[in-house]
Structure 1
Amino acid sequence: MSVHSVNGGARVVLASHNTGKLEELRRILADAVPSLTPEQVVSSAGIALPDVVEDQVTFEGNALIKARAAASATGLLAVADDSGLAVDVLGGSPGIFSARWSGRHGDDAANNALLLAQLSDIADPHRGARFVCAAALVSPDGREIVLRGEMTGRLLTAGRGEGGFGYDPLFVPDGETRTSAELTAAEKDAISHRGKAFRAIAGHVAELLES
């Protein structure tokens, strides 16, 4: 697939169909690369990218798999991320299995219910956790950069809030009394693991576009 078959003016592809991630990346890149217009940053939605098997055991490894496939297929700079929740007393689990912790991929209610059950006898001081995101940047000529962002906090015994997704209703970021699901999108972007990872990768996007 050539760059022209994607979008003649596209310069960066995000290997995700998530529109929220795309808008977040566009906002962050707008600050880092003022010459890059939002239309030049596209998602893989509507692009016939090859299916990839996320068979790595780290966030970094799975992010790289997706970014490599997108760069190879489109001829564009490709960004991908992989993220999840790491709970201290569970030894970092659910980790890369966060989206399918209950056995059903993307079933937020079931994932949250299982996690709460597993932590039911864990007192508040020991309910520490962190959201982790690895963002990968791959160029068509094979250059690769992977950076990590984290948001630390603690888990409640019951969910609160209607915003966000995944484990957000259970997670209270450090320095906050509200859960991630009770924060506005802008407030969450400013402190989130994904926002940190995308902001870290943005400077490298600027360097590669100029090289």
Structure 2
Amino acid sequence: MSVSPRLVLATHNKGKLRELRELLRGQVPGLDVDTQVVDASAVGAPDVVEDEVTFQGNALLKARAVTAATGLIAIADDSGLSVDVLGGAPGIFSARWSGRHGDDEANIDLLLAQLGDVKDEHRGASFVCAAALATPGGYFAVELGHLAGTLLRERRGNGGFGYDPIVQPDGYDVSVAELTSEQKNAISHRGRAFRGLLPQIVRALTEDQSR
């Protein structure tokens, strides 16, 4: 007998789905995270235009759209890099800072050029993630997670993605791209946002199961 999905993560990123499943494993009695926690492609959820002006707004927009389309509890996230001397930019435009969406190398090149003359003591930056939950009944919640650090002057490391090679987390002497996956998950902005949202996710799934 097939098992119906109960929670959809508004992404096609298998890494994000894996992280969410591990976060929820054992948290909700009777929840089979490997079959009932799925990504957008598994339920035909629509892609959503992210036209809000904050991380929180974009995450909630996606979560609400997906729960409306599927009738399932939905989770979404939006994240990016906030640079102090740029007033928080690239921010919500992080993935397309160079003008081409998802071109990590071009985005990094442009950012490094823009900050070329900025002294080390003024190169503070933070990764920011907003994680949002929406239910078919209209309940919603949003949590923020941050990873503070300093912008390096050149790339270091081959792990991670996005701006990871040029951000050194506070308290570390390596870039995010040089961390192990376990180290990154423990301190990442996304991990912190999803862990902050965990009580609301568990509550929504428990209440849904009791109906």
Q: Sort the TM-score into its range (normalised by shorter chain).
A: over 0.9
Residue 18 of structure 1: aligned partner:
13
Q: CA RMSD in A?
A: 1.2
**Paired residue type of 2:16:** K
| Closer/same/farther in 2, CA of residues 126 and 32 from structure 1, 3 Å limit | farther
Distance 2:71 2:111 in 1: 41
Residue 3 of structure 1: aligned partner:
none
Q: Which runs of 4+ in 1 moved over 4 A?
A: none
1:110 is the counterpart of 2:106: yes
Distance 2:73 2:168 in 1: 34
Q: What is the percent sequence identity of the aligned residues?
A: 60
Residue 149 of structure 1: aligned partner:
145
Partner-residue secondary structure (3-state), 2:43? coil
Q: Is the 8 A contact 1:32 1:203 kept in 2?
A: no
Alignment gaps of 5+ in structure 1:
1-6
- Give 1:54 deviation, angstroms: 0.9
Q: C-alpha deviations, 1:112-160, integer Å up to 9, x for none?
A: 0000000000111110000000000000111010110000000100010
Partner-residue secondary structure (3-state), 1:195? helix
Residue 43 of structure 1: aligned partner:
39
**Paired residue type of 1:49:** A
Partner-residue secondary structure (3-state), 1:45? helix
Alignment gaps of 5+ in structure 2:
none
Q: C-alpha deviations, 1:14-35, integer Å up to 9, x for none?
A: 0000001000111111154354
Partner-residue secondary structure (3-state), 2:25? helix
Q: C-alpha deviations, 1:26-70, integer Å up to 9, x for none?
A: 111115435422221100124322332211000000001110111
1:83 to 79, 83, 86: 79
**Paired residue type of 1:20:** G
Distance 1:189 1:33 in 2: 21
Distance 2:32 2:21 in 1: 8
Residue 22 of structure 2: aligned partner:
27
Distance 1:72 1:143 in 2: 12
Q: Which shifted more, 174-183 or 35-44?
A: 35-44
Residue 192 of structure 1: aligned partner:
188
Distance 2:29 2:117 in 1: 50
Partner-residue secondary structure (3-state), 2:147? strand
Distance 2:111 2:45 in 1: 33
Q: What are the residue-to-residue correspondences of 1:166-181 with 2, within 5 Å? A: 166-181=162-177
Distance 1:114 1:54 in 2: 23
| Closer/same/farther in 2, CA of residues 108 and 151 from structure 1, 3 Å limit | same
Distance 1:196 1:155 in 2: 21
Length-normalised TM-score, structure 2: 0.94
Q: Is the 8 A contact 1:149 1:197 kept in 2?
A: yes
Question: Size of the alignment, in residue pairs?
Answer: 205
Q: Which shifted more, 31-40 or 178-187?
A: 31-40
